[in-house]
Structure 1
Amino acid sequence: MLLLALDTATPAVTVALHDGTEVLAASTVVDARRHGELLMPSVDRTLAEAGVSLGDVTAVVAGVGPGPYTGLRVGLATAEAFGLALGVPVHGVCTLDGIAYAYGTSHGHRGGPFAVATDARRKEVYWARYDDARTRASEPAVDRPADLAEPLAGLPVAGAGALLHPDAFPGAAPPEHVTAGALAALAAERLAAGAALAPPRPLYLRRPDAQVPRNYKVVTPR
């Protein structure tokens, strides 16, 4: 097994190679405006560090969000292109699940339920609640931090969304962004257990900012 994992649902452009047991190489660059520019060089760098070629990859794992439309589609389109070119399966993993896995398996985590919140912009967060590192207890959603202060009271909350709004999330904790290494490790566990992974379909949760103008004037030739 050689999994190529990537995620562009957060400001982190992150890539990793996983052999089913451990991460062989990884690259993470945080830049919210250059996903398309940074992703392929990150893939090349990760392959070179691991000493393998793209043709050695047996499956692709892509973070499906939730995340902003523009950034998220960069990673998913690239993953689909790799899958078609290599003739290998492409699996989707919720980006929030990757952060939960990293937080829940960290040495400093004390166990018990927690939540994950990433920055959704517009003064909102994408979030979900977890029973443990591998078990999501609610569907991903998008809400204002103030509306979550009471439902998530007393819970640690990992992710950039929590760190950006400490008043609403006093239990804010790292990691700030997802890493492809965590996505790959979680996917490898699920595949080894025979579990079905999600298809690589984006979790947008809301409409894109760009919209087709309504009631535009139609110009016809005279």
Structure 2
Amino acid sequence: MRLRKKHWARPEMEASHIVITDQYNHMGKWNENFENNNEIHLELGCGMGGHIAQRSRQNPNINYVGIDLKDEVLVNALRKVKKLRAEEKLQDKDINVRLMPLNIMLIDNVFAKDEISKIYINFCNPWPKERHNKRRLTHTKFLEQYKKFLKLGGEVWFKTDDTGLFEDSINYFKESGFEINFLTYNLHYSGFENNVVTEYEAKFTSMGMKTMFLVAKLVVSD
């Protein structure tokens, strides 16, 4: 669905310390931006922000960075983070979330080696046509990029409702030096206790959708 342009979105985001618009000026210095030495988790395609907002509230001693392409989406993530954290009466700079408008294909030189401890990929575009497979966020092409900044022993948590993408991704991870530590074709009946339900997940689970999920650990780094 084509998003209607919201001309007010970028000014609202630029007014908040939570949103990073100088994406390439923090490589190797993300802990300085958060003003602490806590580990950093990255969500690729954070969408409307429900997942990252909940994670950040549950884990105040972890820093979170969320990336999405469209201002029209990211401004809603900003509002959701601020609303969910409002009762804590924190200033924007003290909330353990940073949001960044960025095409994930351009993620090189945003993070330094070993700067990220965990990556979340939730319900990304499955790109089912073979000629488009390299656009998948779990494709080996992207995984090799992530390995430049994901710590050895770091994890990728991946959720999807697309069986083809899920099964191909299992192979992508194995080919790229990851070990599959957890895998299920029906997350909500798997006994896995640390799931945070996304907006998309809640909607389509109510319609009978099954969520597939895996945890891949980086065991071979270049």
Same fold (TM over 0.5): no
TM class by smaller structure: under 0.3
Q: Give the TM-score of the pair, scaled to structure 1.
A: 0.28
Query: What is the TM-score of this pair, normalised by structure 2?
Result: 0.28
Flag the structure with larger Rg. 1
Larger RCO (CA within 8 A; separation ≥ 6): 1
